[in-house]
Amino acid sequence: MPPTLHSSFRTNIAFYQEPTQGAVPGAGDTPAAQAIAWAAAEGADAFRVFVEEGDPAFIRGAMAVPNADMQENVYTKQPPHKGLPTADGGTLLSRVWGTGDSWGAGLQVLGGTPSGLGRILAHALGGSALGGYTDIATVADALNFGVTTAAFAAVGHLIWIEDADDPGRLFPVQITGISGTDFTIDRELPFAPDAGDKIYGMEMAWPDAEALTNPSDVNYSTYSILYEKGPHVWLAGGSHLELTELQLERGQQPKFAWAVLSAKGVPQGDGSPDSPVWTGGVEGLGQDVKAVGHDTLLYINDVGTTTWSCTSVFEAKLTAGVPVRSQDSVTECESGMPGRAGYMTEPADTTLEVVVPLTDDQQARWTAGTIVTVTYFQVAPVGFGYCVHIAKGFLMDAPEPVLEGTNRWRLMIQATHNDDATTETYAAKFVLGR
């Protein structure tokens, strides 16, 4: 069994977006030719991202299965046949980092090439969008202002706004309305917006059931995953990643935890590629990801309340709750997907668990069922920020004291679909932005 892979200069985990389910690079070719196919796809359909840990131990290839139908009697032994080489059960742990893009005037990334991590998030959640750069041209009030161009934006998109008087500190808001080049945002900023303040787009992802269930949907996708540890290579094809949680630990870099489902696992020596000769870089390697704690803020208030309100956070964890389930079969219609027709999802059950200080008024007012808006985000320079936004969620229980004699209260917030929203982005249970 291959060991758990911890990232080092001798470890690579590459992802390839399959043109059709199960179609791995260089399928059917020699291991050397497959390696060339992987390298040739780098930068287009194949990319590498920084992964702290990867567990390829689930890749066993086809298991031997006793063939009772071929036994003439109980004393006659016949050779077993190979079962299905499914490779479910793997895990990955990757850091969270910003897009790394330093966008400027005139650089619109809408419809551009998403980053590798952005593509994985879009694949795992279904919905995605790329924002772009503009700036504030006119100001009507704290929630309404005109922009130079709104071509990149849509209702429900998240945007970063930077105070021209305090450059390098960006704050996220959600667009709730667009009329021509006029924006309405969901809450006030901690500063008065003014003409000339910069607006930076985000790379966003949110749950979209159709994209996770319907193989005909334009956003449905499967991946080939190549695991390298020194000279050792393992391959999983027809794979789908499930985002299980966003880990937000004090003083640590935030991390995404992934579960890996795969239709086919190919161990080394059983048809896996040779090691590709990579020419590009590993996305996220060496980036100064901001630690949780320093300039990390939590906005939480009753839904519809627009006054800026933030609080400190003692603990936080997002459970994405967007499950991925295999649709198993007894046939193989698509090459490379033995016994699997694809993947589907089930209703999302997204929860954000936080431990925060509360005032006496908040303790009394935030009873079970209270509907709130929540944004957990990192104030950071362009290209380094990230945020989790729940436009509409409710408290599952009343605030629970964590330790008697301390102002530490646990809140369990369950995200809910906003049926009154005008776009799927705005209606989504949560939106991740970078």
pLDDT band of residue 108 (cuts 50, 70, 90) is: very low
- Exposure string for 157-176, b = 16+ CB within 10 A, e = fewer: bbbbbbbeeeeeebbbbbbb
pLDDT value at residue 184: 97
Is pLDDT above 80 for 6?
no
Is pLDDT above 50 for 158?
yes
Is pLDDT above 50 for 229?
yes
Is pLDDT above 80 for 60?
no
- Token pair, residue 312, equals 């400190």
pTM of the full predicted structure?
0.91
Is pLDDT above 80 for 275?
yes
Span 77-100, average pLDDT: 79
Give the Cβ contact number of residue 3 at 10 Å. Answer: 10
pLDDT tens figures, 391-424: 999 999 999 999 888 999 999 999 998 887 778 8
pLDDT tens figures, 15-46: 999 999 999 999 889 999 999 999 999 988 99
| Cβ contact 247:255 at 8 Å | yes
Which strand (E) or helix (H) includes residue 40? helix 31-41
Q: Where exactly are the structural domains of the chain?
A: 5-63+72-433
Q: How far apart are CA 171 and CA 190, in angstroms?
A: 8
pLDDT band of residue 52 (cuts 50, 70, 90) is: confident
Q: Which amino acid is at 175?
A: I
Pairing of strands 340-345, 387-395: unpaired
Question: Which burial class, exposed, middle or buried, applies to 316 when counting CB atoms under 10 A from its CB (0-12, 13-18, 19+)?
Answer: buried
Is pLDDT above 80 for 296?
yes
Span 322-333, average pLDDT: 91
Q: How far apart are CA 145 and CA 81, in angstroms?
A: 68
CA-wise closest residue to 240 among 17, 13, 6, 2:
17
| Three-state secondary-structure class, residue 123 | helix
